[in-house]
Amino acid sequence: MEQLLLLIFLPLVGAIVTAFAGKSAKIFSTVFSVASLVLALVIACNFIPNASTQYEVNLPWIADLGINFHAGIDGISMLVVLLTNLLVPIIILSSYKHDYKNPAAFYALILFMQTGLLLVFTALDAFLFYIGWEAALIPIYFICAIWGGKDRIRINMKFFVYTIAGSLFMLMGIIYLYLQNPAHNFDIQAFYALNLDGAQQGWIFWAFFIAFAIKMPIFPFHTWQPDTYTAAPAQGTMLLSGIMLKMGIYGVIRWLLPIVPTGVHDWGQLSIILSIIGIVYASLIAFTQKDAKRLVAYSSIAHVGLISAGIFAFNQQGLQGAMVQMLSHGINVVGLFFVLDIIFSRVKTNKIEELGGIAKVAPQLAIAFLIIVLGTVALPGTNGFIGEFLLLMGVYNYGIWAAAIAGLTIIFGAVYMLRMYQNVMLGQTNSLTITFTDIKGTEKLVLYTICALIIVLGVYPKPILHLTEASVQHLLEQVNQKLNTVN
């Protein structure tokens, strides 16, 4: 109990301290983020990989409304808790070469966002989940709006409107479930136990699905993403793509599937169709991109589309693949955006046609970039392979034609990612890249860590699969039992 409370609120304490740390903010934020990672690893080492909820805390909060501070960790949440606490120190270290204006506020917002994310990933009370959902949005909005690039205000207003609109749909769904609950509380198990008819489950499905689909994002709720990823500062883009979009994926698995299984059964096919359209659409758009950052943004939409299709295929392979790929995608996409940030910091452009020959003058960067690209395109032996293999197996078990089209993400991804690598890294140097310097210091530390994770998790994914297997199986049994009772 005490460990989970410390895990959630340590970043918040760090945010408060960092906000008053002045020029030392970078150091303080690093210390607190690393301390959070160490604590998360301690919790993970003592975690028993079964279907039970562990480190549970259930304290009265707003008793008159049936709201408790109820949180806990099972195998599903353990994975995203580890991902969050792993990526935050990496993202902070990746910023060491930048001199952001008002660094105390910048790093404090990152740590504040970490607390919101951890609330989302551990909440067992719907009201607490919603508070974390909104708490994670506020800091990333200010990070993008204050330290973002050109036209950032308009772009972030669109991002904010999209996400707030989705949140309001979800809030209506949560309030409705609360009113249907005889105990009049927001406890997740009470929501699981509700007997809602098909019509009720249908509209609750859409109330939650829209919120989660915007956050992921999947087609056609994705239009805020490319501009926001491009205009955000590098670390903001890493937070959005590496961790924040996992809120939507996690929400579908934790809240949508078990609460409204009939709604998922009725609308799941449409969800898979939208996901697959997103895969093909985003991949085709990625082919046309001249800016490497936008290319990676569209690549992310395609990969998340496959994760979404695997979840709604609703079988063991699809859900296990989604869990593994959440971790792998987070690591890989942060690596990609960091490499592009390094390139931009040196030559002030991410235009693919203006680059070339960087491998000749920066071989260490080129090797690290290649490993990250190979992980992204799911080369066997890298972390991206096992997740995409399981996802495609899950979609195949749902329908062979769905798997055939969804599998295009691997083929298309390999083409546009390797072509980007070739145009950026290989060939002859030009007037911009001839003076390019290789990675050093914290750049090496971050990229070497990411590359090591890509290789280790690719060669030996068993611990990750074992961590989530029992919880995923238990979730499937819960939902299938509920469906059988209804039928």
In terms of DSSP bridges, do strands 54-62 and 67-73 run parallel, antiparallel, or are they unpaired?
Answer: antiparallel
Which two tokens mark 300? 């992310």
Residue whose pair of structure tokens reads 């971790």 in the numeric block = 327
Q: Is the pLDDT assigned to residue 139 strictly greater than 70? A: yes
- The confidence score (pLDDT) of residue 229 equals 85
User: How confident is residue 382, by pLDDT bands cut at 50, 70 and 90?
Assistant: very high
DSSP labels, 162-225: HHHHHHHHHHHHHHHHHHH-TT-S-BHHHHHT----HHHHHHHHHHHHHHHHHHTT-TTS-TTH
53: helix, coil or strand? coil
Q: Is the pLDDT assigned to residue 404 strictly greater than 90? A: no
Point out the least confidently predicted range of 151-155, 167-171, 423-427, 471-475.
151-155
Provide mean pLDDT across the span 247-261: 91
Determine contact, residues 26/95, Cβ cutoff 8 Å: yes
Provide mean pLDDT across the span 378-391: 90
User: How confident is residue 1, by pLDDT bands cut at 50, 70 and 90?
Assistant: low
CB neighbour class for 487 (10 Å; exposed up to 12, middle 13-18, buried from 19): exposed
Q: What is the mean pLDDT of the chain?
A: 89
Q: Is the pLDDT assigned to residue 210 strictly greater than 70? A: yes
Provide mean pLDDT across the span 212-223: 85
- The confidence score (pLDDT) of residue 449 equals 94
- The confidence score (pLDDT) of residue 221 equals 79
- The confidence score (pLDDT) of residue 486 equals 59
Domain boundaries, the chain: 1-156+218-247, 264-487
Q: Is the pLDDT assigned to residue 31 strictly greater than 90? A: yes
Provide mean pLDDT across the span 13-41: 92
Spatial separation of the C-alpha atoms in residues 297 and 307, rounded to whole Å? 16
Spatial separation of the C-alpha atoms in residues 141 and 156, rounded to whole Å? 7
Which two tokens mark 441? 């210091």
Spatial separation of the C-alpha atoms in residues 368 and 343, rounded to whole Å? 13
Point out the least confidently predicted range of 229-233, 290-294, 466-470.
229-233
Higher pLDDT, 6 or 219: 6
Higher pLDDT, 15 or 435: 15
Determine contact, residues 124/56, Cβ cutoff 8 Å: yes
Percentage of residues of the chain with pLDDT beyond 70? 99
Partnered with residue 68 across adjacent β-strands are 60
Provide mean pLDDT across the span 315-324: 90
- The confidence score (pLDDT) of residue 50 equals 86
Spatial separation of the C-alpha atoms in residues 33 and 95, rounded to whole Å? 14
Determine contact, residues 82/40, Cβ cutoff 8 Å: yes
- The confidence score (pLDDT) of residue 40 equals 94
101-113 tens-digit pLDDT: 888 999 999 999 9
Spatial separation of the C-alpha atoms in residues 334 and 345, rounded to whole Å? 16
Prediction pTM value: 0.92
Q: Is the pLDDT assigned to residue 487 strictly greater than 60? A: no
Provide mean pLDDT across the span 159-181: 89
Which two tokens mark 171? 């809030």
CB neighbour class for 411 (10 Å; exposed up to 12, middle 13-18, buried from 19): exposed
Provide mean pLDDT across the span 437-461: 92
Percentage of residues of the chain with pLDDT beyond 90? 42
260: helix, coil or strand? coil
User: How confident is residue 478, by pLDDT bands cut at 50, 70 and 90?
Assistant: confident
Provide mean pLDDT across the span 263-273: 87
Which two tokens mark 297? 């943004």
Residue whose pair of structure tokens reads 């209506």 in the numeric block = 172
Amino acid at 134: E
Point out the least confidently predicted range of 24-38, 114-128, 398-412, 445-459.
398-412
